[in-house]
């Protein structure tokens, strides 16, 4: 047999499962295979500090090269896995190498959702998911006066805030009737929309991108409502989709994400999936969830490592997440999307307040702006109130 554990992907979840396996006493070999050329790194700064201040890719590394060497975790970087035989637990790399393993972990993350719209492949149109995206985007932004951001989710709005802080004109084009609809409730959306508008962001809600065209060095953005709009750079930030094709082609059960159980086990023996690419059952929320946030990547990786080592506990977190926009820190605990009541605590005018979301009287989520205490207490109460399932 080749390796004891092979991890496909070298991002946040991959780094954590490898580190936790060693910490938990695994003596066998661990091999991590990542298609990006960088050491495992943190992505949140890509739309925040790293976008504004730049820096070397190593500044984002989760661990130094020496850590992986000391932990005897081997990294194959800049090479993708092209196919997998889950029954034989054999992976075939695009460079032709074939590797067998005892345990296989998918930690393949997500990628920027592609928009089927004419012009999205023009020079000057970007997406933002990787260090190398920032390396292409940043020089274009440096010479841009006008930036259009397609998508008013948290990544789009973080970039809008960064661009306004640099004095660039920013237009946000959002299909939905409110910003950040996927992650937060109506009151919080209205608060953030107002904050962006006050700072000069032109937010166009209910507008769907229909085409981008190039006219004498300028990009013209067409949307379903409003006039065509001339800009220098377009960022498409319309969400992510799970990298589950490799797993699906290998015969693993997938449904917008690799289906796993509460121990991160996929539908074949000794195969696991963790992080953004995995869809897991949550008793707490009464359905399967696929989460895209750092804490989930870390915690599910720890749960998978424990399961691989034979000491697993069922994984059923209160998810949490943050976003930084201007001087506003939004912290989100839980999942609000099927709430039946929302209560605002504090005065949004002070820019330090929170919103509590309930379903059938139980607290299922809390959003807090510049209010770490409300967020911390909320998280604890959600854990208590949803501990035996939210439904």
Nearest distance in Å: CB 117, ligand FAD: 21
Q: Which is nearer to ligand FAD, 109 or 119 (CB)?
A: 109
Inter-residue contact 32 to 317 (CB < 8 Å): no
- Tokens 């039946």 found at: 340
User: For residues 285 and 278, what is the distance between their CA atoms, to the nearest angstrom?
Assistant: 16
Give me Rg for the CA atoms of the chain.
22
User: For residues 26 and 309, what is the distance between their CA atoms, to the nearest angstrom?
Assistant: 7
Q: What is the DSSP letter of 340?
A: S
Q: Which is nearer to ligand FAD, 154 or 353 (CB)?
A: 154
Nearest distance in Å: CB 246, ligand FAD: 5
User: For residues 52 and 308, what is the distance between their CA atoms, to the nearest angstrom?
Assistant: 40
Nearest distance in Å: CB 226, ligand FAD: 26
Q: Which is nearer to ligand FAD, 174 or 222 (CB)?
A: 174
Task: Burial-class residue 350 by CB neighbours within 10 Å (0-12, 13-18, 19+).
Answer: exposed
Q: Which is nearer to ligand FAD, 229 or 379 (CB)?
A: 379
Inter-residue contact 375 to 368 (CB < 8 Å): yes
Nearest distance in Å: CB 261, ligand FAD: 17
Q: Which is nearer to ligand FAD, 183 or 212 (CB)?
A: 183
- Tokens 């991890």 found at: 7
Nearest distance in Å: CB 53, ligand FAD: 15
Nearest distance in Å: CB 177, ligand FAD: 24
Q: Which is nearer to ligand FAD, 191 or 321 (CB)?
A: 321
User: For residues 269 and 318, what is the distance between their CA atoms, to the nearest angstrom?
Assistant: 27
Q: Which is nearer to ligand FAD, 133 or 261 (CB)?
A: 133
Tokens of 328: 């506003």
Q: Which is nearer to ligand FAD, 257 or 312 (CB)?
A: 257
Inter-residue contact 181 to 189 (CB < 8 Å): yes
Q: What is the DSSP letter of 254?
A: B
Nearest distance in Å: CB 297, ligand FAD: 4
Distance of CA 9 to the CA centre of its chain: 14
Nearest distance in Å: CB 269, ligand FAD: 21
- Name the closest residue to ligand FAD (Cβ): 11
Task: DSSP for 126-170, please give it.
Answer: E--SSHHHHHHHHHHHHT-SEEEEE--SHHHHHHHHHHHHTT-EE
Tokens of 69: 């060497």
Applying CB under 6 A, the residues found at the interface with ligand FAD are: 8-14, 33-36, 43-44, 46-47, 80-81, 107-110, 128-129, 155, 243, 246, 275-277, 292-295, 297, 321-323
């Amino acid at each position: 047999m080749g390796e004891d554990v092979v991890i496909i992907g070298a991002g946040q979840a991959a780094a954590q499962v490898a580190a936790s396996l060693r910490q938990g006493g695994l003596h066998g070999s661990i091999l991590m295979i990542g298609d990006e050329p960088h050491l495992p790194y943190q992505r949140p700064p890509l739309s925040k500090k790293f976008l504004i201040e730049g820096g070397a890719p190593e500044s984002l590394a989760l661990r130094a090269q020496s850590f992986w060497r000391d932990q005897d975790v081997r990294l194959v970087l800049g090479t993708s896995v092209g196919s997998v035989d889950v029954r034989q637990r054999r992976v075939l790399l695009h460079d032709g190498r074939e590797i067998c393993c005892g345990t296989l972990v998918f930690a393949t993350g997500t990628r920027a959702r592609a928009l089927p719209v004419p012009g999205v492949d023009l020079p000057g149109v970007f997406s933002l998911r990787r260090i190398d995206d920032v390396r292409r985007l940043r020089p274009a932004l440096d010479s841009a006066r006008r930036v259009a951001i397609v998508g008013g989710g948290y990544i789009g709005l973080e970039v809008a805030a960064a661009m306004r802080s640099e004095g660039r004109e920013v237009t946000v084009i959002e299909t939905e009737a409110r910003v950040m609809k996927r992650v937060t409730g109506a009151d919080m959306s209205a608060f953030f929309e107002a904050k962006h508008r006050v700072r000069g962001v032109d937010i166009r809600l209910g507008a769907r991108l229909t085409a981008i065209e190039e006219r004498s060095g300028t990009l013209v953005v067409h949307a379903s409502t409003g006039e065509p709009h001339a800009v220098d750079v377009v960022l498409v930030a319309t969400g992510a989709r799970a990298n589950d094709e490799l797993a699906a082609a290998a015969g693993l059960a997938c449904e917008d994400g690799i289906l796993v159980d509460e121990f991160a086990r996929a539908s074949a023996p000794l195969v696991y999936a963790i992080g953004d690419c995995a869809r897991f059952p949550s008793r707490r929320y009464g359905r399967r969830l696929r989460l895209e946030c750092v804490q989930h990547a870390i915690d599910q990786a720890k749960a998978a490592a424990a399961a691989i080592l034979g000491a697993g506990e069922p994984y059923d977190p209160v998810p949490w997440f943050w976003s930084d926009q201007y001087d506003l820190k939004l912290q989100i605990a839980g999942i609000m999307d099927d709430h039946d009541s929302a209560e605002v605590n504090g005065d949004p005018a002070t820019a330090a307040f929170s919103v509590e979301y309930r379903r059938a009287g139980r607290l299922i989520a809390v959003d807090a702006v510049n209010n770490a205490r409300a967020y911390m207490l909320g998280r604890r109460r959600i854990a208590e109130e949803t501990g035996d399932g939210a439904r």
